[in-house]
Amino acid sequence: MSPRVILLPGDGIGPEIIPAAVAVLKAVGPELQWELEEHLFGGASIDAHGTALTDETLQACRAADAILLGAVGGPRWDTTDPAKPRPEQGLLALRKGLGLFANLRPVKPLSALYDASPLKRELIERTDLLVVRELTGGIYFGEKTRTRDSASDTCLYTRAEIERIARVAFGAARSRVTSVDKANVLETSRLWREVVREVHGSEFPHIELEHLLVDNAAMRLIAAPRHFEVILTENMFGDILSDEAAMLTGSIGMLPSASLSGEGPGVFEPVHGSAPDIAGTGAANPLAMLLSAAMMLRHGLAMEAQAAAVESAVDQALAEGLRTPDLGGSASTAEATQAVLGHL
């Protein structure tokens, strides 16, 4: 087997954590002939090519088995000029170009890190939830207008878009799905609630379904995170709630994500950003990148045993005391990587 993986290091700490993932992949699958191909992406691609995602890179991604992405963005590319390219445009174009409509973000605080969370241990103990976020519709992709004195962003959803993401959420659930919307105000949310209810009744009646308004869901994530199993949400609400949920673990540097289509390669990336303030210092936490590689092994390459081995190695390294600066320790990126490799 020769898995073909495109590496998109991106910006900031991205080029520092991608090599950690490569080292782990080679260690967990030494018998495999990994085909690894690196491409510029985000701000690095803007500097070299004038665009955050070139046609050549997109074609390479389409031909791959999976894509590992580091992080994009940074102050040097920040602009409010709509005519200038931004690194984040590369992410949106990649999702659209690969049809990545489902974003999966597992949130499971590790027992070794309970005390790193800003919430009390008794609140977060045994939390094990999954945010399923619709990724290619909604306000991020709607028509946009801009004049000197006004601007608009259209939020648009179709029945088919809601049906397919609802099926992903119900399919991932053991017992309960919480669908999040703003149906008391937004027409798109009323359609969302109606379609989710129909998919539930006709295809997944054995799964419990509850509906929560997004503001209530945001409060309950902090007050009672164990309440949730699978959170189903549209694009913008999911963007916000998944980052909120990330802090249950004590550091956004701990969380992986997978962006999937019905068919074709997925993109696997840590939830954290490019952290330009620590880029080049060797202080970046590589664990979310390593856990994203585990999600790639599981969801992208159907290698469950290898995925579990990586996750177990991360757990064991933390249990033995591994702490990077964001977790209150002093371990460098290289030291954290070696600690995980030592348990594979």
pLDDT digits (tens, 9 = 90+) for 56-87: 999 999 999 999 999 999 998 988 777 789 99
Window from 38-42, 91-95, 305-309 with minimum mean pLDDT = 91-95
pLDDT-based confidence at residue 118 (cuts at 50, 70, 90): confident
Report the length, in residues, of the chain: 344
Task: Give me the CATH code for the 118-249 domain, please.
Answer: 3.40.718.10
- Looking at CATH, the fold of the domain delimited by 1-101+257-344 is given as Isopropylmalate Dehydrogenase (3.40.718)
Burial (CB count within 10 angstroms: exposed 0-12, middle 13-18, buried 19+), residue 336: buried
Q: Report the Cα 137 to chain-centroid distance in Å.
A: 16
Of the residues 114, 140, 157, 181, only one is catalytic, namely: 140
Of the residues 47, 55, 215, 277, only one is catalytic, namely: 215
Measured from the Cβ of residue 334, the count of other Cβ atoms closer than 10 Å reads 14
CA–CA gap between residue 47 and residue 226 (Å, rounded): 44
Q: Which of 92, 101, 106, 229 is nearest to 164 (CA)?
A: 101
pLDDT-based confidence at residue 169 (cuts at 50, 70, 90): very high
Return the HEC string of 4-47: EEEEEEECCCHHHHHHHHHHHHHHHCCCCCCEEEECCCCHHHHH
Of the residues 96, 108, 153, 182, only one is catalytic, namely: 182
Could you tell me the sign of the dihedral formed by the alpha carbons of 4, 131, 240, 245, in that order?
negative
pLDDT higher than 90, residue 131: yes
Of the residues 65, 108, 153, 243, only one is catalytic, namely: 243
Between β-strands 144-146 and 151-153, what pairing exists: parallel, antiparallel or unpaired? antiparallel
> Under a CB-based contact definition with an 8 Å cutoff, are residues 327 and 251 in contact?
yes
> Under a CB-based contact definition with an 8 Å cutoff, are residues 132 and 103 in contact?
yes
Q: How far is CA 224 from CA 20, 112, 117, 121, in A?
A: 34, 20, 14, 12
pLDDT, tens only, 248-305 = 877 777 889 999 997 889 999 998 889 999 999 999 999 999 999 999 999 999 999 9
11 is known as an active-site residue? no
End-to-end CA distance of the chain: 20
How confident is the prediction for the chain on average, in pLDDT?
Answer: 94
121, 122, 128, 131: CA torsion to nearest 10? -80
CATH 3.40.718.10 segments of the chain = 1-101+257-344, 118-249
Q: Which residues of 3-21 are buried (b: 16+ CB within 10 A; e: fewer)?
A: bebbbbbbbbbbbbbbbbb
pLDDT higher than 80, residue 46: yes
CA–CA gap between residue 250 and residue 114 (Å, rounded): 8
Give the per-residue pLDDT at 274: 93
pLDDT, tens only, 191-223 = 999 999 999 999 999 999 999 999 999 999 999
Q: How far is CA 176 from CA 112, 204, 208, 249, in A?
A: 27, 10, 4, 22
What is the arithmetic mean of pLDDT over 76-99?
89
239 is known as an active-site residue? yes
Q: In percent, how much of the chain has pLDDT > 70?
A: 100
Give the per-residue pLDDT at 89: 92
Beta-bridge mates of residue 105: 131
243 is known as an active-site residue? yes
Tokens 């599981």 found at? 298
140 is known as an active-site residue? yes
pLDDT, tens only, 18-38 = 999 999 999 998 888 999 999
114 is known as an active-site residue? no
